[in-house]
């Protein structure tokens, strides 16, 4: 696991070696073991390496035999040994024992299309000296990030936004469409970034930059249309277990210690159970807990650890976790308000003290239907038979129901269900995925900011609507899962874990994000995934032989923090001081009365405004870090038209 940077110049002008050094230095936390660079006329590639495989000879960049192809890689290629064997049979000569060199030789033979042969998590860059072209690419589901900026015959890229912005020729002008989307989803959805000049390369995409022009091709898409015939449910359960085992086994290959992040939920527990079967000794597991019982999964994690015979380490997170917020803001490089990043940072820190690689359960909910929104939309779908006027009446009643201060309460879930009734299935799902809908944002924004957003054409709801329209599946559940895999997963869940782990030079591997396992899950008929409307019911039944029954039947908690309570207690004063600070309000984004109302109603327990308060807090701290005091910033504190 590493961090990569680079720049290509169509003119062939020299790339500054000092720039490569500065960009690499900003990624040193991702790869503290070695730094490498390839600088030649018209190109510069840089790498910060975390040594995981081939510790002795695997430093990068790597080259083909005549050094006409140079490669830097962030990630792991799990099938590199098989690929290498085939290349050696065809006469290619290798000088390392690692996975990166396979990329150089495959590219020689197949060009950019070779990426289809890779099985792993990766973002890589290739400089082809003969063709004078740069090739950058990301893995199928977007495990490894890649930001890029193209302007005036120059393309720069980096694994993190903060490193990319070390290139001072990239404009710091804010993309207000991105910030509007951020306040809708708590993250900036791809391909947008917080800066207008910067974009995220989408998952499963390859960008080729040649003669000053960039072309992007998509090489993979998860399809839900083709379904397998299932006649024996027990045989299906066995195949699920075997595929999980195979995905876990691929991710145990390393020349450094390997452990697991154990939340106590079904997904991470299944991963740990499979590791215990495949590993030669006790698995090292690591868990985070809270002093709020509704959010504390330590007892369940401890039970799984005992059941699987792991060496278990626990850590308790309390409201003083706010001290980590500046680190979160700095590492993400753009606003990111999924507050489960807090426990992710802490568990990564304690895990890195013991191991260099950690497996986790990310992706299980998306492939095996683990979210409450799936059940809620399926229930709402059954009510589509009601006349529209009656569903509209239900929506009006929902808007009048009082919030009781707890977002996951039965009352608040009923409010979400009722208010979404008048919408079609795609609209309902978009509503479930939005933390703040368009009317809520309009009440919050100043009139000047509303005018600016209107001018820029901002419409965050298009993110879900367009993904919904493009789905390949027919069944409602398939379509919801496909939208999540195309939006929520690469925009929020994956970046959260990548940044949290790599901030501590910890490599995270996710067996449930194995693309073959995901393709298998997508082929399972939708009506089998939620037996009796039990979230992840099929997966629970499949892994029942592996785990203690009292853990299997626990309700999903998610890797969350008691933010609502924290913001009514120890964090209340800090949030008010930041959000009502004159400098914050003078930026011109938000109405002061609306911000005060958010804080007051939350403090009085009249509503759970914790997501909005936290997102505004991160928004402001990001401004202070990257706009007010950011290196090379030319952006004034007030509003600038996008």
- Known catalytic residues are 2
Using DSSP's 3-state secondary structure scheme, residue 118 falls into coil
Number of H helices, E strands in the chain: 29, 17
Q: Is the previous residue joined to 258 through a cis bond, with omega within 30 degrees of 0?
A: no
Q: 490 to each of 435, 483, 484, 487, 497, how far by Cα in Å?
A: 17, 11, 9, 6, 11
The alpha helices in 46-160, defined as continuous H runs, are 80-89, 100-110
CA neighbor of 368 nearest in space, from 231, 556, 550, 508: 556
Cβ-Cβ contacts under 8 Å for 218 (sequence gap 6 or more): 202, 204, 205
Please list the residues that pair with 6 across neighbouring strands: 45, 157
Cα–Cα dist 618/584, whole Å: 12
Cα–Cα dist 525/477, whole Å: 10
- What DSSP string runs through 538-592? HHHHHTTTTS-HHHHTSPP--S---HHHHTTTTTHHHHHHHHTSHHHHTTSSB-H
What's the order of all strands across the beta sheet hosting 133-138? 62-63, 69-77, 120-128, 133-138, 205-210, 213-218
CA neighbor of 537 nearest in space, from 161, 109, 233: 233
**The length of the chain, given as a count of residues:** 642
Q: Tokens 């708590």 map to which residue?
A: 186
Q: 360 to each of 31, 97, 262, 265, 322, how far by Cα in Å?
A: 20, 26, 7, 11, 24
DSSP one-letter code for 533 = G
Q: Name the region of 134 (left: φ>0; alpha: ψ -120 to 50; beta: rest).
A: beta
Cα–Cα dist 161/116, whole Å: 27
Cα–Cα dist 265/283, whole Å: 17
Cα–Cα dist 486/472, whole Å: 12
HEC readout, 136-169: EEECCCCCCCCEEEEECCEEEEECCHHHHCCCCC
Q: 218 to each of 121, 141, 221, 483, 599, how far by Cα in Å?
A: 16, 12, 8, 17, 44
Tokens in use for 609?
């405004």
Using DSSP's 3-state secondary structure scheme, residue 356 falls into coil
Instruction: Judge residue 454's burial from the number of C-beta atoms within 10 Å of its C-beta, 0-12 exposed, 13-18 middle, 19 or more buried.
Output: exposed
Whether residue 45 contacts residue 61, with contact meaning beta carbons closer than 8 Å, is answered with yes
For the four alpha carbons of 561, 565, 571 and 577, in that order, the dihedral sign comes to: positive
Relative to beta strand 311-317, strand 284-290 is parallel
């Amino acid at each position: 696991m590493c961090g990569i940077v680079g720049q290509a110049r169509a003119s062939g002008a020299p790339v500054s070696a000092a720039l490569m050094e500065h960009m690499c230095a900003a990624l040193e936390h991702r790869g503290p073991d070695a730094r490498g660079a390839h600088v030649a006329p018209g190109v510069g590639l840089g790498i910060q390496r975390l040594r995981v495989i081939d510790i002795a000879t695997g430093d990068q960049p790597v080259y083909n035999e005549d050094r006409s192809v140079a490669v830097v890689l962030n990630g792991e290629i799990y099938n590199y040994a098989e690929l290498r064997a085939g290349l050696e049979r065809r006469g290619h000569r290798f000088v390392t024992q690692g996975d990166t060199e396979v990329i150089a030789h495959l590219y020689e033979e197949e060009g950019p299309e070779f990426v289809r042969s890779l099985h792993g998590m990766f973002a890589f860059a290739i400089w082809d000296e003969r063709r004078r072209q740069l090739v950058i690419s990301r893995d199928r589901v977007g495990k490894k990030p890649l930001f890029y900026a193209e302007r005036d015959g120059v393309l720069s890229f980096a694994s993190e936004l903060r490193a990319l912005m070390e290139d001072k020729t990239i404009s710091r002008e804010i993309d207000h469409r991105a910030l509007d989307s951020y306040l809708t989803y708590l993250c900036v959805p791809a391909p947008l970034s917080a800066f207008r000049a910067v974009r995220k390369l989408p998952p499963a995409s390859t960008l080729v930059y040649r003669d000053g022009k960039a072309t992007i091709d998509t090489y993979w898409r998860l399809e839900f249309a083709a379904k397998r015939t299932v006649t024996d449910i027990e045989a299906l359960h066995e195949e699920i277990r075997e595929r999980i085992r195979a995905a876990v086994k691929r991710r145990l290959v390393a020349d450094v210690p390997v452990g697991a992040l154990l939340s106590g939920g079904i997904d991470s527990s299944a991963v740990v159970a499979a590791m215990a079967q495949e590993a030669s000794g006790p698995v090292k597991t690591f868990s985070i807990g809270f002093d709020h019982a509704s959010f504390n999964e330590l007892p369940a994690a401890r039970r799984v650890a005992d059941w699987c015979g792991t060496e278990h380490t626990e850590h308790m997170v309390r409201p003083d976790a706010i001290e980590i917020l500046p680190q979160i803001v700095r590492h993400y490089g753009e606003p990111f308000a999924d507050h489960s990043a807090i426990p992710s940072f802490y568990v990564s820190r304690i895990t890195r003290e013991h191991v260099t690689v950690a497996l986790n359960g990310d992706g299980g909910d998306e492939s095996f239907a683990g979210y409450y929104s799936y059940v809620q939309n399926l229930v709402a779908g059954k009510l589509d038979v009601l006349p529209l006027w009656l569903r509209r009446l239900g929506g009006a009643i929902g808007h009048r129901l009082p919030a009781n201060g707890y977002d996951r309460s039965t009352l608040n879930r009923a409010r979400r269900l009722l208010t979404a009734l008048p919408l079609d299935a795609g609209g309902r799902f978009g509503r479930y995925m939005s933390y703040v809908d368009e009317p809520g944002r309009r009440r919050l924004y100043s009139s000047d900011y509303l005018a600016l957003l209107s001018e820029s054409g901002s419409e965050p709801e298009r993110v879900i609507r367009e993904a919904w329209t493009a789905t390949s599946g027919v069944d409602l559940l398939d379509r919801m899962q496909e939208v999540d895999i195309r939006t929520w997963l690469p925009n929020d869940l994956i970046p959260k874990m990548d940044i949290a782990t790599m901030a501590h030079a910890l490599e995270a591997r996710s067996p449930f994000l194995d693309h073959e396992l995901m393709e298998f899950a997508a082929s399972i008929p939708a009506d089998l995934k939620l037996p009796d409307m039990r979230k992840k019911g099929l997966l629970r039944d499949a892994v029942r032989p592996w785990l203690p029954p009292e853990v299997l039947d626990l309700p999903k908690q998610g890797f969350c923090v008691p933010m609502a309570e924290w913001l009514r207690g120890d964090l209340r004063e800090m949030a008010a001081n930041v959000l009502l600070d004159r400098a914050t309000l003078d930026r011109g984004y938000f109405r002061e009365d609306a911000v005060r109302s958010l804080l007051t109603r939350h403090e009085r327990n009249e509503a759970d405004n914790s997501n909005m308060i936290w997102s505004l807090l991160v928004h402001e701290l990001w401004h202070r870090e990257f706009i007010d005091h950011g290196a090379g910033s030319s952006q004034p504190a007030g509003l600038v038209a996008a």
